[in-house]
Chain A
Amino acid sequence: MEFFSKADLIGTLPLLVVFGCSLLLLLLDALFKDAKKLVFSVGIIGMLTAIGCSLYTFPLSATAFSDMVLVGGYASFFNILFLTIGIIVFLLSYSYLEKQHYHLKEFYTLIVISISGMMLMASSADLIIIFLGIEIMSVCFYVLAGYKRIKVEGNEAALKYFLLGAFATGFLLYGIALIYGTMGTTNLIRISQNFDAFSHPLYLAGWGLLLIGFSFKIAAVPFHMWAPDVYEGSLTTVTALMSTGGKAAAFSSFILAFSIPLSMHNEKLMMVIAILSAASMLIGNVFGLAQKNIKRMLAYSSIAHAGYMLVGLASGTKLGMDGIIFYLISYSLTNLGAFGIISIFEKENGGNLSYEDYAGLGSRKPILAALLSLCMFSLVGIPPFAGFIGKYYLFASAVQSNLTWLAIIGVMTSLVSTYYYLRIVVYMYFRESQQSELIFVPSLALASVVLVSIGIFIFGIFPSLILNVIQNLL
């Protein structure tokens, strides 16, 4: 009996490359003493290769390893997104870690492993794979969150993240167990073909638990408590990875799993998701107003943005799912840009993170300030930036599904959010600077930030470039 075929191996090539790369990095780490540059460059090369493989597998549309893993299309698309995020986080981290005096090279290995977990999540055709992917990613994140080992806040972030994250995993797993029991399989394709057990209470309870688990991972209200502390306590580039890659991965498998119960037009489920979404938008944006620390503000903003994306899921239509995918791209680019600039600007011991520190940045570092404003405007959702098209799509899907009230809440709360996003801009341009220290801008980090900003622009003006691709994914 043949366990797998050549086609399986070719189809999962991107995954295999990243797995191989992470093993290689572990090895290099162990063999060479001072291999920071080596690990860094091998990691980048590995991820670039994986992007190439993803492009190659993109036209395929199949499953591999007896329907366990999705191949091509959706999976490849998300793989490219995760790998791009990974590369940018690499570029940002290199100088940032130097500045913060963290010389451990496992950092890069952990990032690559967490990205392999994300890739598994986006290519899962089976609930086991979703679980596996989430765990691989989360365990790496727990460690990365506690990377500021010598700092109080790093430890605190790691502990909070771990306890709540593992708790959520427990719910997720219990939900999977219930679905397995009622359906006799964990395979998503087979679950979607079996209509008999759909009203079984255990089955519904299973989806409910699954929903709680995912809500934790995307930081939706009321399961959001970890996000502000973890975002603030972690290294800034780690926060960038968690808020972009982590969220995108959680959503990618969220969509894969929940397209099944949503395709039944389950009104109650839609309503529950809609309420989660409305609560996230309201709480995230209202609490965002009160923050003084920029990383914490962006944490609440990320809660709110989870709410916006849930709007698309609540609508249950393909338009909504496409909207989420586009939004994930624009949100990831924007947050990478924002956190990238914050990491460039951050002082050695975690200073320079309050609004006041950004005063007068417009005249001190015009390019950085302009790029940060661009990111903020994209987060608000003002044309011609990508954030606008994303929000537009999501709210359109809500209107189409008769959830107009949700669209109105979304639009109104984004109006509220304008205030705290603009505050940074106000400080940067309208206030005089208190500091005169020179800010060193590392070229790698600057280049990556410029790159994502160009992306925000291009996807804002010519969204059809990417929308036409997203169209055919699901």
Chain B
Amino acid sequence: MITLHHFLFVSIILFGLGVYAVLTRRNAVMVLMGIELILNAANLNFVAFSRYGGLKLDGQMFALFVIILAAAEAAVALAIILNIYQRFNTINVDDVDTLKE
């Protein structure tokens, strides 16, 4: 029997992997993927809570919202990354550092 805890466990692993990817990966697209992982971990949570908590469809609805917004974000992000590639000829985030500290 798969319980809520299984879902939460998977979700927390996804979240952890996402954070790990954002913090360690230097390729901008990989970082973006890490962010997507975090968002989807949250989505999984929403749906699981909605299903197992005897709640109405709020959770599913929330997940739909998130998917849409994630898509919008990804579109903007890829556009930015494309531009970066044209200017810098690289998408390594460490190399994109001209503004002085």
Contacts and interface: CB of A to CB of B under 8 A. Distances in A.
Interface of A: 128, 131-132, 135, 139, 142-143, 146, 149, 152-153, 155-160, 162-163, 166-167, 169-171, 173-174, 176-178, 180-181, 184-186, 228-229, 232-233, 293, 296
Most chain A beta-carbon contacts within 10 A, residue among B42, B55, B59, B93:
B42
B93 A173 contact: no
Nearest to B22: A167
A173 B39 contact: yes
A471 B71 CA distance: 41
Nearest to B12: A174
B38 A171 contact: yes
B53 to A, nearest CB: 6
Contacts of A180: 45-46, 49, 58-59, 62
B100 to A, nearest CB: 8
Contacts of A170: 18, 35, 38-39, 42
Interface in B53-81: 53, 55, 58-59, 62, 65-66, 69, 72-73, 76-77, 79-81
Nearest to A172: B42
Interface of B: 8, 11, 15, 18, 22, 28, 31-32, 35, 38-39, 41-43, 45-46, 48-49, 53, 55, 58-59, 62, 65-66, 69, 72-73, 76-77, 79-81, 83-84, 87-88, 93, 96-101
8 contacts: A128-B62, A157-B99, A159-B84, A166-B32, A173-B38, A173-B39, A174-B38, A181-B49
A250 to B, nearest CB: 17
B16 to A, nearest CB: 11
B69 A185 contact: no
A65 B35 CA distance: 31
Chain B contact residues: helix, strand, loop or mixed: helix
A135 B67 CA distance: 12
A158 B15 CA distance: 24
A155 B84 contact: yes
Nearest to A232: B99
Contacts of A167: 22, 35, 38
Contact of A184 (B39, B45, B53, B93): B53
A159 B80 CA distance: 6
Contacts of B49: 177, 180-181
